[in-house]
A and B are shown apart, each in its own frame.
Chain A
Amino acid sequence: ETGVTQSPTHLIKTRGQQVTLRCSSQSGHNTVSWYQQALGQGPQFIFQYYREEENGRGNFPPRFSGLQFPNYSSELNVNALELDDSALYLCASNDGGPKHEQYFGPGTRLTVT
């Protein structure tokens, strides 16, 4: 069984640029959630996708957007990058069932300069 994978591992962007992060969910999982973890903090919920539709969103501006594909993989897009967007971005998948156990990928470390 393949776990959650994310790419790239690290990247560095300049303020004002746009970035796309990618996530492949665990086999059999149809729900993907994205979290932002600032240095020294707990993860913060960005949004969740279920069967290609966004079905929940945290307190993040519209410049954070996403997609989910028919194979349940997902992308997180961030436009007009700001310095405060520097963080570890975590993707988590689950099977949408009642156990609500979310399985996290290793994350993408984004640095905005």
Chain B
Amino acid sequence: GNSVTQMEGPVTLSEEAFLTINCTYTATGYPSLFWYVQYPGEGLQLLLKATKADDKGSNKGFEATYRKETTSFHLEKGSVQVSDSAVYFCALGLRMDSSYKLIFGSGTRLLVRP
């Protein structure tokens, strides 16, 4: 089946620390991979994406590389800020029947302390 597994949180870091949030997936076919971020009380915002193997998605200092050989899409940032505190969701996107659906992991909460 199709699924996404993320590391459990919360992840607590000091400001300017290096961030890694692990994400692995299982999929039939050739999915696109996404990272979404959810701030408290809000919906999901697309952070970055990659559509094929070896693609690197990047945005706002975050980046992730689509690794087909390890079925992974780990999120990294070199220096986190307090404002990065949020819940991060890894997702794969697949066309199934006539629709395009996103399959999400369970989310990883990041807390950045000053």
Contact = CB atoms under 8 A, between A and B. Distances in A.
Nearest to A38: B106
A101 B44 CA distance: 12
Kindly state the interface size class of chain B when it binds its partner.
20 to 34
Contacts of B45: 104
The secondary-structure label for the interface of chain A is: strand
Contact of A45 (B49, B89, B98, B101): B101
Nearest to B96: A56
A43 B97 contact: no
Given A41-B107, A42-B106, A42-B107, A103 B46 contact: yes
A76 interface: no
Interface in A74-107: 90, 92, 94, 100-107
A101 B99 contact: no
Given A42-B89, A42-B107, A55-B98, A101 B49 contact: yes
A39 to B, nearest CB: 11
Contacts, number: 65
B44 A104 contact: yes
Given A100-B32, A100-B93, A43 B99 contact: no
Interface residues of A, number: 28
B69 interface: no
Contacts of A31: 100
B102 to A, nearest CB: 6
A62 B80 CA distance: 44
Contacts of B4: 42
Contacts of B42: 106-107
B96 to A, nearest CB: 6
Contact of B97 (A33, A55, A103): A55
Contacts of B96: 56
A43 B104 contact: yes
A58 interface: yes
Interface of B: 4, 32, 36, 41-46, 49, 89, 91, 93, 96-107
